[in-house]
Amino acid sequence: MSESDVVAALVALGFSLNESRAYEALLQDAPATGYEVGVRAQIPRSAVYGVLRRLVKEGAARSIPGTPERFVPAPSSELVALLRTRFEGSVTSLESAIARLDVTPAVPDAFSVRGYARVLEEASSVVGRAESLLVLSGWPRELGALAGAVRSAADRGVFVVAFSHAGLSDFPGEVFSYGLVEADLESFWKHRLSVVADDRITLVASAEGADRDTGVVSETKAIAEVATSQVALDITLLAQRSGRDVSATMARMLGARVGNLDGLLLGRAASTNA
């Protein structure tokens, strides 16, 4: 059977599939006997009462004594509050337990991520670690998913530069876009995403919206510089075609690299003309 969003969300929070189906069945019609829940949720009769009693034990359902025993769901607002309290308590316990170990695990210079959801999670993490400069290149779908985190970065003073061949609307920072239709581009290009924070932390990934998507997160400065330079090149080509002055943006993106290169070129021109 195709699972609903309610069932999927409960499974993600640690409930079993049958527990999640039973809770949803109770939301749809309660009070209900175990037999009625089993039929509606497609849970075997031999298992349904055990499932319902686990829900009662977890605070997700309530039992009404009688013959037969019937069940009702805990109100969704109460269940959400209960789960939030438990989750926050578990996180606090984990933090304390790790702190008591008094160890600092080695962090690799680069690691891979797999799956679209994980790619976006790591991209958001990179955005959140930016302190002064954030450079992004991607498609509206992925950049839109990161917009909230990027806006928070901009609000704390991070200089944001974003590039996309497709149209971007209401995106924070310095935005450079050809304004093309995303669907038209998808006919010959695949979704890719680059995020660089402070010329130091880089995520480069495929972003096709599938479990097979892969990415790499790196803290190798050379990789960050290459990724930033690629975005700078895309912006420069756009500027040449549109007549837009991007010198101020390039100076902030590339820092001393721009000024030093300009100085060398001026010096060479002067020596050539002498």
Same domain, 184 and 206: yes
Same domain, 175 and 245: yes
At 263, the pLDDT band (50, 70, 90 cuts) reads very low
From the number of C-beta atoms within 10 Å of its C-beta (0-12, 13-18, 19+), residue 33 rates as: middle
Is the pLDDT score of 123 beyond 90? yes
- The 10 Å CB-count burial string (b at 16+, else e) for 189-216 is eebebbbbbbbbbbbbbbbeeeeebebe
Instruction: Report the pLDDT value the prediction gives residue 44, as an integer from 0 to 100.
Output: 93
Q: Give yes or no for a cis peptide into 44 (omega within 30° of 0).
A: no
Of 144 and 273, more confident? 144
On whether the CB atoms of residues 196 and 181 are closer than 8 A, the answer is no
Is the pLDDT score of 100 beyond 60? yes
Same domain, 237 and 146: yes
Instruction: Report the pLDDT value the prediction gives residue 139, as an integer from 0 to 100.
Output: 95
pTM of this prediction?
0.67
Instruction: Report the pLDDT value the prediction gives residue 95, as an integer from 0 to 100.
Output: 83
Is the pLDDT score of 91 beyond 90? no
Q: Tally Cβ neighbours within 10 Å of residue 218.
A: 20
Same domain, 80 and 207: no
At 33, the pLDDT band (50, 70, 90 cuts) reads very high
Interval 159-195: pLDDT, tens: 999 999 999 888 999 999 999 998 899 989 999 999 9
Same domain, 127 and 49: no
At 264, the pLDDT band (50, 70, 90 cuts) reads very low
Last residue in a domain, options 105, 130, 147: 105
Is the pLDDT score of 268 beyond 50? no
Within 6-153, strands assigned E span 32-33, 61-64, 70-73, 110-114, 133-137
Is the pLDDT score of 1 beyond 70? no
Same domain, 157 and 58: no
Same domain, 60 and 167: no
In a domain, 274, yes or no: no
At 108, the pLDDT band (50, 70, 90 cuts) reads low
Q: CA 16 to CA 22: how far, in whole Å? A: 10
In a domain, 273, yes or no: no
pLDDT over 90, % of the chain: 67
Report how far apart, in Å, the C-alpha atoms of 244 and of each of 134, 141, 175 are: 21, 25, 12
Q: Which domain holds residue 252?
A: 110-268
